[in-house]
Structure formats: structure tokens, C-alpha cells
Structure 1
């Protein structure tokens, strides 16, 4: 812990006694000058001032020595007969005796006050160190950040480097060289036997990191060269800070365990939702395909051409529906693993919307659309297939809930440096508190994108694909307060020159 000059004078006995000798000599010189040039006769206050100055900066021993030196100097140089310790007048004996008593008492009181002030300074400094450590530990998210905070605070307040041993792992900042292996093995043995309390070895000072079930590990401090042995005050502060560090490490472990448990629970929930969705939504088209194929196989020869065509159309449409489900699952997997690669190209907004609408018409020929594209819109720099799939998912979701006699409105325009595509239906709408949830995987509220059929992945995939382009998707109230509007916002990026 960095210390100031005053605290060094108090803690260093040799410096205190040297200061006592120098103060006595200076007192003699100042008294002689005051007597000769200022005509002062009572010079005891000059020597008393020297005693007080030394006592205020040292401990009792140097203060007593200063009082004795000033007593003899005052007697020898300024009490008649001079230059002897003999005192001729009775009142002179009383004067120097009173001076000695007053000097000893004043020195004792001043020294005690100085030590109390120094103790208060150290307590304040220690409180600030613990406060800083506590504040910085509260935002440490993992063990590495806890070690970095501990190293920074100990460097500032104790001028020491930090190394922490947790089990078989040693944690330290990049600029800290860990202890030698023999020292580490010895400390590990002591930690396993739970007998380590305080060990100073090869410039390192080791303390346990206490925990309810035994030491969590060991913290080592690489002490600066000028600290051979930590003081009792430094030991106490370090033990308290080690407790704080141990509690922070326990907290990070608890947070990691809770996060792991949460991820496990979420994984199980998603797995259950996926199995439930797949088992229901994929079996439906499969059942239709199998039924149509079985009818053709058993009664195909006796059927008319129109009936056979209807069954074949069922096989085709349900096969395409099954293909969409599987494609959605594959896209969601690619998005989840971060393997979705963008191969951008120029494509017109009208062409993009037209492709998605035409694809939708193949699946639902009766769906009506009202498309408005700003003529001023030029081509956009996107991955055409992915953006067409994202737009198709939004259009499909709107078509599910739009009444048969109401068209799905598609409006594309430029807003600043962004492209906005709004798809609006005239369906029942989505409550405000649920609008963000429709972009979650397997969202199953009837008004959501799953509705009566679907895996609940369409809008989640749309958000992932648009997000990969730097855009966003949001759900808004529909026109005139009816239905829902899904707005896709894309930045109008400029491709690199090489493109």
C-alpha cells in the first residue's frame, strides 16, 4: 500500500530518532538566533515547539528523546551559568524541571494524537480500497473479470500483483508472471490439507479464499521489493479483500450454474416444442400423401381422369407443403448455428415481391393481393433467395388470417436510407403485448404465425434472414385499427467497389 512521508516517519524508528537529533540541533540554532537578534529571554517555547513537531511525526520514543535533548541543550546553552549543566539559581531549577515535565507530557500527547490521526487515515484508505473493490466486483461477469478487478485494485492500493489458484487452474492478468512450479505445488498441498492461512515465500504472500464448505482456492500477492513483510494493517485489509473476492467468485459460479440450468431448460423446451410441432404438422401432409397414393394404388383403374388428377394434385400440394416445413427447419438450424452465408446481388423490389406473390398463388390461388411499389425505388443489394423466402413467410402468415374477400396489402417505399416493405392483413389482429412474441420460435397462440397449421418458424426465420442483412422486422397495428401490419426494414447498402 503506498504510504506518504508522514506515515514512513511514524513507522520507521531510525528515521524518527534521526529526526529527534536534527530537531534538537535546529532548536538550539533558532533559540540562539532569537536571543541574539530578537532579544528574547524566555527560549523554552522554541524547544517546546521542536518537541511538538517531532512528536506529531513520530512515535513516543523519538518524542521523549527530543524532550531530553532539548532539556539538556536549554540547560547547557541558555541557563546561567552557561555551557555547564549546573544551575545557579533555584528558580532556574524549577524552570528547567517544569520544561522537562511539560515537554514529556506534550510530546506524549502529540505523539498519541499523531498515531490516532494516522490510524484514521489508514482506516479511511482501507475503506476506500474495499469500497472500490466491492463496486468493481459487482459488475464482474466471470472469473477472469474478477481476477482482473482484483489485480487492478491490489496494484493501486498495495502495489502488488495478483495470482489466484482455483483447483488446478491458475488465473492471472496478462502482465503477471505466476509463481514458480515448486511454490505452486507447495501451496496446492497446503490448500488440500486446508492448513494454509498465510505464507510468504519467494516474494509471494498467499492467503486462502474462504468459502462455506472450505477454501475456494488460494490468492497470491506478488509484493513489491520494499515490503519484506506485510504489516498487520495490510494483512487485515488483504484478508477482508480476499473475502470479498471469494464471494464474487462464488457469485460468478452461481450465475454460471443458473445460466447453464436455464439453457438446459430452454433447450429441453425447444426440443419438446420441436417434437410436438414436427409430430403434428409434418404428419398431416404425410397422411394426406399416403392416403392419396393409397387411393390411387387401390382404385386408380376405376377412377375417372378428374378424380385421379385431384388425388395427384393433393400429393403435389401436400408434398410442397411438407417441403416448406422441412426447409423452414433447415433454415432455422442454419440461423441458429451462424452458418447462413449471404451471396448478395442486385434485384428489383418489384421483382422480389412479384416472385413471393407468384409463389404464394401456387399454394393459395384464391388469395388476393394489393401491391404498391414506389416507382422511384431502384434495385436492392441483397441475397435474393433469402429475402424472397423471408418476404414469402410474411405474406403466407398474412394470407392465413386475411378474410377471403379482403386482399393482403403490400406496400414498398423508401424512407431515408432504408427500404420499408409493409404487409398488412385484415384479420383479427394481434394484442400489443404479444406482437414481439410472434417472432419467437414455435409461437403457438392462434393469432400468431402458427395459427391452425404451421411449425411456428416462419416469422422467426424471417427475423433471422432480415437481421442477417442488417434490417429488422416488427409487428404493428393494421390499417384503420384492423388486422396486423408486418414491416420489414432494410438498409439500402452500397456494394463494395470490387462487386
Structure 2
């Protein structure tokens, strides 16, 4: 098994030493020749020692344009040309005066040092540019990772950073010797790949096998960790070669820390979201149990008391008291039926199983049906209705909208004071029909107006019917939204609250319309 450490590897950065090519060496030879021609021209005006500066400039330019090798070639050619052409005896490679020999050797030394220094500075400049590009690329990579919301997106961004070379990426965890996929490539692992993954996970070091004799490329694994805690393994496999090249490994290693932080962030976000869901589910369960224990037990207690009274005192009860017990029994039975219906509707809405069976319905019929169901609950309350003369039809499932109206009207009845007034209005505004139900209750604080549609939210202040289940308005909103409408709440004129159901008006069927009346009851 082969392991690697980023600090022990020599990485190959883009733009490192420029490879010496024939073109660079040809340029070096040409530069020496051009320098010789220029030196011949200026030799008429300059002393012999100054002519060597022309060749030094040529060596310097070659070093800057190419690399150390061509610069040394230019220095060597300049050394030969300078000694052959300009030092006496001219046209001979033999030098008779020691002074000229020292001059020539000194020129060679200066040329070599100048070329090497220029090449070294150029190499550092190229490396600095490459490091700057790498830093900018890492910065852009970090910015993209910061906007990712899932592990699959992280792998996609890492794949883009690795470049056009075909690579497969995957994130896995190792639990009890089993490799569990988290995201990315889902190809089955060979036994050798599973072993290397377990080794990398256990030791916290990159690992894999490199061999050109293997039947197919193998995965290389890098530990993804945060604060010494293993989070996952990053698997990288070449799609076009038997092994990962050094450039790809270098990019993976330089990106691994930033990638690990992004994985930790996403896993933490997912853990927090899961915890919130668990907390919400527990809260919902507790609220549902409390609601069931209260709202089922109360009508059942009344029913059992009425039945026991009738059973024990049937013949001795006056007719009026017997009728009152029967009326109470009926009211509690209807209340129990509405509560069970709300529970069923809540379940259907929560599971997305609410399938609409629409038909063309007159808005006034929907309101009339809802009011008829709740007439026994009105008691001393006054009811005022206002319906325009002409109303468009609405394309809805009548039973659901009727139930939504029942929930809103029942809510208004519960919060209206004794001898108060409830107003039920239908209005038309552009492309919608509205049902406004207004009461004279204590009203709803502005801060709580959005919360009244939350499941199990109840407001005890002003509730004459005892604290409700907190399901009615939530279910009402779900039913209306399922029809493409919305529910709004606002203070009533004077005192109380108006809750309005807004339903869209679709293109009317030919020959269909409703003729209504305006009035108050």
C-alpha cells in the first residue's frame, strides 16, 4: 500500500521551469550572432573592453526570454565569438597576451553569472505568478463552496477545479468495515479499493494503489476531517489513465482543507435541520396528544353524562329537559365530527394526498351551506350576510371550501361576545372572489396575525368556547392555497377581526352565472 503526505511531495505547479526546446536554443544562437554583428558596428567607436557589454546584453535577454540552458549557450557562443573576432590576433582562437586571456575569462564568468541570475529571477517571477493564480483559484473555489447546499454540489465544484481531465469523485464513510456512500459516483468498489478506503479512514492518511498492471484505474482516498474528527473520505479516480498524475494530486491536496470545511458546514447544517425536524415532530406529537385528550374527551364526557342521565331518569325527566339533553348530545356529536374531520384534513394536507375534484360552484351556495351547518352554535349572536347581485362561478371542490368557511365562521363564533354580531360578506375584486368573515371579538395583535394559521396555535383571550385545537385556521389556509387562493387577516372596522378567503376566478363556462341578492339577515 502506498501512502503520501503533502509536505513530502514535490508538487509540479503550472508555470514552473520552462522546458528548454530547440526553439529556445536556436534563439540563443541567433542572439549571439546578432550581438556579434552589432559589436562589429560599434567596434569602430568603442574600446575593446566595452564591446563585451553588447554580448552581456544578449545573454541577459536570452535568460529573461527563455531559461538557464539557452542563456549558458549564448554565453558560450559569445565567449568564442568575442575571443575569435575581437581579441588579437583576429581570426584566431589562440590568445597571446595574458591580459586578453583574463579579459576573456572574466567576460565568460560575468556572462554565466548574469545569465544564471536573470534566469533565476525569471523562474521566481513565473513561480510567483503561478502562486498568485493558484491563490486566486482557491479563493474562487472557496466562494463557490460557500454557496453550496449539499455534498453533490461540493463534488461538482471540486470536479470543475480539477480541470478538464476526466475524473470520478465520490464521498464515503467507513462504519464497521463497511464503506457507505454519501455522494457522487456509485460504482461498486473492488475488494482492494475497499481495503484501501478502510486503511485511509483508520490511519487518517491518503492512500491507494498505483500500478500500470492493474486491470483498471483504482480509487485514491483522501481523509476529509475537521478538528481531528473524520467526516468522510474523498475518492478520486482517473477516467483516462491507470493512475492519477501529479498535477491532479497536487490540486486535490491544495483544495482539501477548504473542501473539508465545506463538508463540515453542510453536515452540521443537515444535523441542525434534522434536529429541528425532530424537535418540531416531538412538539407536534405533544400538541396532538394534548389536543386529542382534551377535544375528544370533552364531547365524550358530555355524551356519556347525557346518556347516563337519560338511562337513569328517563321516565322522571320532564320533556323539556329530555329535549335539552338530546340537543346537547347532538351538538357534541357534531362537534366531535368536525374535530375528527379536521384531523383527517390535517393528515391529508400534511401528506400531500389532497386531490381536488373541482366543479363550477356558486359562491353564495358555499356560504349558505357553511352557515346552515353552524346555525345551532349561533345562540344569541346576530348574523349579517351581504352577497352581491351578480357573482362569477368558482371552480373548486365544494366540500373543501365549505369546510374552510365552516372553520373560519366557527372561529368567529367562539371569539364573538354574547349578543355580538358576525358579518359574512362575499365580494368580487378583479380576478378573485372573496369571502370575508368578521367578528366583534377582542381582535388579534399584529405580531400574532401570521401565527394564527400555524398548526395548533390557539389564542385563549376572548375564546368563549374553551381553548380550541388550533387546527381550524391552519386547515382552512391549506385548503384555500390548494385551490390557488390565499387567506388574509386584518382588524375589523371598530372592533374584532376579519378573516378573508380569496379564491381565483377562472374563465367562466359559457352561459353560466349566478344571480344573487344583497341584504342582511
Q: Is the 8 A contact 1:424 1:479 kept in 2?
A: no
Tell me the SS of whatever aligns to 1:75.
Answer: helix
Deviation at 1:70, TM superposition (A): 3.1
Q: Is the 8 A contact 1:328 1:458 kept in 2?
A: yes
Identify which of 499, 502, 517 aligns with 1:489.
502
Q: Which residue of 1 aligns with 2:214?
A: none
Q: Which residue of 2 aligns with 1:460?
A: 474
Return the alpha-carbon distance in structure 1 between the equivalents of residues 242 and 59 of structure 2. Answer: 30
Q: Is the 8 A contact 1:438 1:448 kept in 2?
A: no
In the alignment, does 2:234 pair up with 1:219?
Answer: yes
Moved more, 460-469 or 355-364: 355-364
Deviation at 1:429, TM superposition (A): 0.5
- Compare the two structures and name the one with the higher helix fraction: 1
Q: Which residue of 2 aligns with 1:165?
A: 172
Unaligned runs of 5+ residues in structure 1 are: none
Moved more, 407-416 or 76-85: 76-85
TM-score, scaled relative to structure 1: 0.85
Deviation at 1:46, TM superposition (A): 5.2
Q: Is the 8 A contact 1:136 1:149 kept in 2?
A: yes
Q: Is the 8 A contact 1:56 1:111 kept in 2?
A: yes
Q: Is the 8 A contact 1:361 1:367 kept in 2?
A: no
Identify which of 21, 24, 31 aligns with 1:27.
31
Identify which of 451, 469, 483 aligns with 1:437.
451
The 5 Å alignment of 1:160-309 reads 161-167=168-174, 168-170=179-181, 173=184, 181=190, 184-194=193-203, 196-199=205-208, 201=210, 202=217, 205-213=220-228, 215-222=230-237, 229-230=245-246, 238-309=252-323
Tell me the SS of whatever aligns to 2:389.
Answer: coil
How many residues were matched structurally? 485
Identify which of 343, 357, 382 aligns with 2:396.
382
Unaligned runs of 5+ residues in structure 2 are: 1-10, 211-216, 511-521
- Structure 1 395/262 Cα, relative in aligned 2: closer, same or farther at 3 Å? same
Tell me the SS of whatever aligns to 2:271.
Answer: helix
Return the alpha-carbon distance in structure 1 between the equivalents of residues 188 and 87 of structure 2. Answer: 64
Deviation at 1:390, TM superposition (A): 0.6
Tell me the SS of whatever aligns to 1:488.
Answer: strand
Identify which of 352, 357, 361 aligns with 2:366.
352
In the alignment, does 2:109 pair up with 1:101?
Answer: yes
Deviation at 1:473, TM superposition (A): 1.3
Return the alpha-carbon distance in structure 1 between the equivalents of residues 65 and 244 of structure 2. Answer: 23
For residues 368-401 of structure 1, the C-alpha deviation after alignment (integer angstroms, 9 at most, x for no partner) is 2222233342111111110111111111111222
The 5 Å alignment of 1:299-338 reads 299-338=313-352
Deviation at 1:114, TM superposition (A): 1.4
Moved more, 400-409 or 376-385: 400-409
Deviation at 1:485, TM superposition (A): 1.4
Q: Is the 8 A contact 2:456 2:471 kept in 1?
A: yes
Return the alpha-carbon distance in structure 2 between the equivalents of residues 126 and 179 of structure 1. Answer: 34
For residues 294-322 of structure 1, the C-alpha deviation after alignment (integer angstroms, 9 at most, x for no partner) is 11111111223222221111111111111
Moved more, 184-193 or 75-84: 75-84
Deviation at 1:229, TM superposition (A): 4.1
Deviation at 1:419, TM superposition (A): 2.3
Identify which of 133, 153, 160 aligns with 1:152.
160
Q: Which residue of 2 aligns with 1:127?
A: 135
Moved more, 119-128 or 455-464: 119-128
- Structure 1 443/218 Cα, relative in aligned 2: closer, same or farther at 3 Å? closer
For residues 155-190 of structure 1, the C-alpha deviation after alignment (integer angstroms, 9 at most, x for no partner) is 37x8755333333234665xx696962552242242
Tell me which of the two structures has the higher relative contact order, counting C-alpha pairs closer than 8 angstroms and 6 or more residues apart. Answer: 2
Q: Which residue of 2 aligns with 1:64?
A: 72
Return the alpha-carbon distance in structure 1 between the equivalents of residues 80 and 28 of structure 2. Answer: 10
Identify which of 398, 415, 420 aligns with 2:429.
415
Tell me the SS of whatever aligns to 1:403.
Answer: coil
For residues 402-460 of structure 1, the C-alpha deviation after alignment (integer angstroms, 9 at most, x for no partner) is 23333212232222222222221111101111111111111132148896242111001
Deviation at 1:205, TM superposition (A): 4.7
Q: Is the 8 A contact 1:325 1:454 kept in 2?
A: no
